[in-house]
């Protein structure tokens, strides 16, 4: 089966490309930065083309040449500090270009990354897991753009009968995560490098999910002939930064992790209690224990720094 991935050399993208290639799929990766990751070792299994998702002609030309049955858009700006016009072009116009090209070419199933950011603060929902049916309360640039993306997908689905499915990843974590929410990552990676790290709140809450797991989620949902829902929460593990620090110290007793305050972060934390019943019941996803993923990230960093893996 032919799959077209926009943003295929990025953090999640290059892992998804490799998963699909390992399954025997024919993959075309379009990215504005082809140096982000090399697939040279995969030979003809993966074709890479340079293209800018904000330019409709680029998307249409590359997608038309690939003739895909499935399309995934993983190209977007993480964070909310970007100039409004620049962020809008990538996050909203870029997504629309993907949907429109998929419509014109008759793509069977299109997927895209939304985000837990659409929900805003956990305080909006109290002390309970948030479902996909809950009202979204995202307040900042990135969250608002993802809310618009979900509406765009629904609009295309209702007006043209397209099959478009979104995934709301939680706090994706991995050794090469450097954008967006990174405090939960830096506790692990900086400690693995032997560097000290200071963070504001020990009780700040996150919902980490390893990047390999989120790539697996996209892979499973992508090949469904007719998913039961238009949007799925990835879920993850609700955990405080202080608890992550304790896990890191259990592997690296000399880790230099400190916090400016022990309390005050929980009440301003984003959504961290997440119900992913839809995804689990329909697609049977299971995530490896978070402690194992922390050790995996530590050892990924140690290998990169030519240190002996632990554990």
Is residue 278 situated within a structural domain? yes
pLDDT at 220: 97
Which residues 6+ apart lie within 8 Å of 310 measured at CB? 251, 252, 295, 298, 299, 302
Q: What is the CATH number of the domain that holds 226?
A: 3.40.50.720
Positive or negative torsion for Cα 98, 146, 112, 43: positive
Q: What's the CA gap between 70 and 10, in Å, rounded? A: 18
Q: Model confidence over 247-261: pLDDT tens digits?
A: 999 999 999 999 999
In tens, the pLDDT along 146-201 reads 999 999 999 999 999 999 999 999 999 999 999 999 999 999 999 999 999 999 99
Q: Look at residue 311 and tell me whether its pLDDT is greater than 90.
A: no
Over residues 104-133, the mean pLDDT reads 98
State residue 287 phi and psi, 5-degree precision: -105, 145
Which range marks the domain in which residue 162 is found? 2-171+209-233
200 and 58 in a single domain? The answer is: no
What are φ and ψ of residue 167, in 5° steps? -115, 135
Q: Do residue 157 and residue 268 come from a single domain?
A: no
Position 34 in a domain: yes
Q: How many CB atoms lie within 10 A of CB 61?
A: 15
Give 11-30 pLDDT, tens digit per residue: 999 999 999 999 999 999 99
Please give the distance of CA 305 from its chain centroid, rounded to a whole number.
Answer: 26
Query: Are 83 and 108 in a shared domain?
Result: yes
Task: Evaluate whether residue 310 is within a structural domain.
Answer: no
In angstroms, rounded to a whole number, what is the distance separating the alpha carbons of residues 32 and 220?
26
Asked whether residue 223 is assigned to any structural domain, the reply reads yes
Cα separation values, 238 from 129, 185, 203, 258, 274, Å:
10, 14, 11, 20, 8
- If you average pLDDT over residues 113-127, what whole number do you get? 97
Whether 309 is in a domain gets the answer no
Q: Which residues of 36-48 are buried (b: 16+ CB within 10 A; e: fewer)?
A: bbebeeeeebbbb
> How many domains does the chain divide into?
2
Question: Within a domain: residue 311?
Answer: no
pTM of the predicted structure, to 2 decimals:
0.96
Indicate which CATH number applies to the domain containing 195. 3.90.25.10
As a whole number of angstroms, the distance between CA 20 and CA 82 comes to: 32
């Amino acid at each position: 089966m032919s799959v077209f991935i926009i943003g295929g050399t990025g953090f999640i993208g290059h892992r998804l490309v490799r998963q699909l290639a390992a399954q025997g799929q024919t993959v075309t990766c379009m990215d504005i930065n082809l140096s982000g990751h090399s697939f040279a070792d995969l030979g003809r299994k993966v074709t890479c083309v340079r293209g800018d998702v904000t330019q409709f002609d680029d998307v249409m030309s590359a997608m038309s040449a690939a003739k895909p049955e499935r399309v995934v858009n993983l190209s977007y700006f993480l964070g909310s500090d970007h100039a409004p016009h620049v962020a809008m072009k990538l996050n909203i116009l870029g997504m629309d270009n993907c949907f429109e090209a998929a419509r014109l070419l008759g793509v069977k199933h299109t997927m895209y990354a939304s985000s837990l950011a659409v929900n805003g603060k956990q305080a909006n929902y109290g002390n309970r897991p948030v479902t996909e049916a809950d009202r979204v309360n995202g307040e900042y640039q990135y969250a608002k753009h993802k809310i618009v993306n979900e509406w765009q997908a629904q609009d295309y689905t209702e007006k043209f009968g397209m099959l478009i499915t979104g995934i709301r990843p939680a706090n994706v974590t991995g050794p090469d995560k450097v954008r967006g929410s990174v405090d939960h990552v830096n506790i692990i990676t900086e400690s693995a490098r032997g560097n000290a790290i200071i963070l504001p709140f020990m009780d700040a809450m996150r919902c980490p999910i390893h990047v390999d797991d989120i790539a697996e989620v996209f892979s499973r949902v992508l090949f469904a002939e007719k998913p039961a829902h238009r949007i799925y929460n990835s879920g993850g593990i609700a955990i405080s930064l202080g608890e992550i620090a304790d896990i890191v110290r259990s592997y690296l007793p000399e880790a230099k992790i400190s916090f400016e305050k022990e309390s005050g972060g929980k009440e301003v934390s984003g959504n961290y209690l997440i119900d992913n019943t839809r995804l689990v019941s329909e697609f049977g996803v299971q995530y490896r224990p978070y402690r194992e993923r922390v050790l995996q990230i530590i050892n990924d960093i140690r290998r990169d720094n030519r240190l002996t893996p632990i554990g």
